[in-house]
Amino acid sequence: MAGGVKGSTGRPDGRATRWEGQRERRRAEFAEAAITAIERYGPDVLTEQIAAEAGVARPRLYRHFEGKADLQHTVCQRIVRRLMAELAPVWRAGGSPNEIITSAIDTIVRWLGTHRQLYRYLVRHSRRDPAGRGDAITDFTGTFAVNLGRLLAGALRAAGLDERGMEPFAFGLVAFVEAAIGRWLAEAEGGTAEQFTAELARSVWRLIEGMLGERGLRPDPERPLPDSAGIDLLDPNPH
């Protein structure tokens, strides 16, 4: 309820506020326990195994969630936030387009490769839940694609060129990367992580270069981006 639960005086009820804060802390703790259990038992982890990892009985675990779907949604969101935290330094470091693309792909490939059980859990359980909350993976890739589209459009706009169509292109590009990484994780047919990352990074740049080139913009892949082009591609509310 907006503004918190209020007592008869109209002021927020302190007990309700404390309970809500405690509930959120416990949800976070149980989600972390679930991640540990997933790493140990795999994506088909049982609720009983999660509860055992958290050191509580199954009924007590569900006191803090509105059923299994709510638990899965919370866990998926937390897994995605871990990946986002790994990616954050990529944007802060800056660099050339090639450096940024390669570093981002390398980070994602290595993190998901190290945490394959978490990736499999995401694939199976990241979906819109009954409460209408979004799919964790879609929220992540969608935010990335929207901001990438804005970055590319901004580069074209600064050069006085046609910027239309960059958002659909960015969504297609992100979907391509997501599918390629998912296939490599499933089959590893693309050689080592280093080889796969290098080839995928080259493919991504070729697509970006081709699209921008058609509009008359030919950026140097090895030239550092100007500070004015900086944008956190994972920020859901970019300035």
Q: What is the CATH number of the domain that holds 47?
A: 1.10.10
pLDDT above 70 covers a percentage of the chain that reads: 81
Q: Is the pLDDT of residue 106 over 80?
A: yes
Q: How confident is the model at residue 105 (pLDDT cuts 50, 70, 90)?
A: very high
Predicted pLDDT at 13: 60
Rounded Cα distance between 28 and 64, Å, is 10
Shared domain check, 90 and 29: no
Q: How confident is the model at residue 227 (pLDDT cuts 50, 70, 90)?
A: low
Rounded Cα distance between 18 and 235, Å, is 30
Q: Is the pLDDT of residue 1 over 50?
A: no
Residue 20 lies in a domain: yes
Predicted pLDDT at 3: 47
Q: Is the pLDDT of residue 108 over 50?
A: yes
**C-alpha dihedral over 122, 200, 152, 213, to 10 degrees?**
-150
Q: How many domains does the chain have?
A: 2
pLDDT tens profile 129-153: 656 666 888 888 998 899 889 888 9
Residue 71 lies in a domain: no
Q: Is the pLDDT of residue 116 over 80?
A: yes
Residue 237 lies in a domain: no
Higher pLDDT, 121 or 236: 121
Q: Is the pLDDT of residue 239 over 60?
A: no
Structural domain that includes position 35: 12-65
Strand partners, 12: 6
Predicted pLDDT at 49: 96
Rounded Cα distance between 124 and 136, Å, is 11
Cα angle: 75, vertex 32, 14; to 5 degrees? 90
Residue 4 lies in a domain: no
Residue 6 lies in a domain: no
Rounded Cα distance between 152 and 166, Å, is 7
Q: Is the pLDDT of residue 228 over 50?
A: no
Shared domain check, 82 and 58: no
In the chain, the amino acid numbered 74 is T
> Please, which residues have CB within 8 angstroms of residue 125's CB and are 6 or more apart in sequence?
43, 72, 73, 75, 76
**If you average pLDDT over every residue of the chain, what do you get?**
84
Strand partners, 6: 12
Rounded Cα distance between 15 and 63, Å, is 17
Query: What does pTM read for this prediction?
Result: 0.81
Cα angle: 156, vertex 158, 161; to 5 degrees? 40
Token output for 151: 């970055």
Token output for 178: 């997501």
Predicted pLDDT at 32: 95
Rounded Cα distance between 81 and 137, Å, is 10
For the CA atoms of the chain, what is the radius of gyration?
21
